[in-house]
Amino acid sequence: MDDEPGFDDFVAEQTAALLRYGYVLTGNPHDAADLVQEALVRLCGAWPRVRRKDSLHSYVRTTMARLHISVWRRRRREHLIGEPPERVHHEVFPRDDEQGVWEELAALPRRQRAVLVLRYYEQLSDAEIAKVLGISTGTVRSQAFRGLDKLRSALSSAPATHGSMR
């Protein structure tokens, strides 16, 4: 974009990281790509206003988290499929030996997954997570507790079904 200096460079440098973040939020590479695309469209529209921010990457991640939350607020239900679709960008998404953990994370309800991603992947505090998601800090803590409990139960009850088979 000739009229938006720096935007193309930002997109080129950050796309892979944003796709990984989108994958962690959505649990699906196609939804992750859609989420990144929508966030970058919104960033482009706001570029003249936000290009001088200290952390554009944080701005886009917050936009992605809010977009993701708005989707599950509208739908409230998630349609999971038995087999993941073919991946185009293997280097962006988890390795096969890590796939079991990511599948269990994807199986969590959206709010629990979003809280865990923001807490452990983005390393945000409970107050920051509450602000990003528009929920109370108590809800953040309860959703994190429930999500971690489900992950622990799922991963400890079926270790042979996760990771690589030997």
Give me the domain span that covers residue 113: 92-166
82 and 104 assigned to the same domain: no
Instruction: Give residue-wise pLDDT tens across range 76-130.
Output: 555 556 676 565 544 555 566 667 777 888 889 989 999 998 898 888 899 999 9
19 and 79 assigned to the same domain: yes
55 and 115 assigned to the same domain: no
- CA 137 to centroid of chain Cα atoms: 20
128 and 66 assigned to the same domain: no
Which pLDDT score is estimated for 93? 57
Backbone angles phi, psi at 153, to 5 degrees: -65, -45
Number of domains in the chain: 2
The domain boundary, picked from 44, 68, 88, lies at: 88
151 and 82 assigned to the same domain: no
The domain boundary, picked from 35, 67, 88, lies at: 88
79 and 100 assigned to the same domain: no
Residues 10/56, Cβ–Cβ less than 8 Å: yes
81 and 45 assigned to the same domain: yes
Residue 30: other Cβ atoms inside 10 A: 14
101 and 139 assigned to the same domain: yes
**Which of 25-34, 35-44, 82-91, 118-127 shows the lowest per-residue confidence on average (mean pLDDT)?**
82-91
Q: CA-to-CA distance for 115 and 121, rounded, in angstroms?
A: 10
Which pLDDT score is estimated for 2? 47
Q: Domain of 103: which CATH number?
A: 1.10.10.10
80 and 104 assigned to the same domain: no
64 and 32 assigned to the same domain: yes
CA angle (89 as vertex; 23, 30 as ends), nearest 5: 45
Average pLDDT of the residues in 156-162 = 59
Residue % of the chain over a pLDDT of 90 = 30
Q: CA-to-CA distance for 128 and 4, rounded, in angstroms?
A: 30
Q: Domain of 9: which CATH number?
A: 1.10.1740
